[in-house]
Amino acid sequence: MTKSKFILQGEKIILRDFVRSDISDTYIGWLNSSDIMQFSNQRFSKHSLENSLQYLASFDNTNNLFLSIFKLSGNSFIGTITVYLSNHHGTADIGILIGDKSVWGLGYGQDAFNLLIKWLFECNNIRKVTAGTLACNYGMLKIMERSGMHHEATRKNQEIINGKAVDIIYYAKFYTT
């Protein structure tokens, strides 16, 4: 896969390269929100302009993708999606953050997830896409299941949420012709 200007349009969203100007007070606020990050290990870090720039720079000179999600109507920035690629193995692991809580449950994350999986399979010689989340992250579990992914593995009692051990659930989807 060659890195280039990246733009994909779905039914509800546009995916494009995450750029420096996307690192705003709003974005950093999402990363520092205990509500938004309640199921992410990012909740243990204090996020700033500096470490956000470092994270963005970590994608330089890689085939991995860090993308912004914008609402098609109104063009507002609502989240991010990452893809970590292993071209040697034909695999991709996706992570998504819908930071704008006003669009939670309205299908924007689903549209972004489905669009990206389709593009990975059709345009990038990817044979398998994976994703994972905590068992208590019902929104993400629904996104993975609705995208056609199937349960692949469980790491029992892997992380602690609100004082309780919680499983991490991994899902996968294979390319089919």
Domain locations in the chain? 7-127
Rounded mean pLDDT of 145-150?
Answer: 98
Q: Which pLDDT tens digit goes with each residue over 13-69?
A: 999 999 999 999 999 999 999 999 999 988 889 999 999 999 999 999 999 999 999
One-letter identity of residue 175: Y
Structure tokens at 20: 């420096």
Rounded mean pLDDT of 151-162?
Answer: 97
Residue 6 — pLDDT band, cuts 50, 70, 90? confident
- Domain covering 7-127 in this structure, CATH number: 3.40.630.30
- The Cβ-side half-sphere exposure at 163, using a 13 Å CA radius, reads 0
Q: What is the pLDDT of residue 61?
A: 95
Q: Between vectors from CA 79 to CA 121 and to CA 9, what angle results, nearest 5°?
A: 45
Q: What is the pLDDT of residue 2?
A: 42
How far is the C-alpha of 47 from the C-alpha of 53, rounded, in Å? 10
| Cα distances (Å, whole numbers) of residue 17 to 7, 37, 59 | 7, 22, 11
Q: Which pLDDT tens digit goes with each residue over 62-92?
A: 999 999 999 998 889 999 999 999 999 999 9
How far is the C-alpha of 70 from the C-alpha of 74, rounded, in Å? 9
The mean predicted confidence, pLDDT, of the chain is: 94
Does residue 176 carry a pLDDT above 90?
Answer: no
Which positions ≥6 away from 110 have C-beta within 8 Å? 142, 143, 146, 147
| Phi, psi for residue 151 in degrees, rounded to 5 | -55, 130
Residue 157 — pLDDT band, cuts 50, 70, 90? very high
Q: What is the pLDDT of residue 103?
A: 97
Q: What is the pLDDT of residue 37?
A: 94
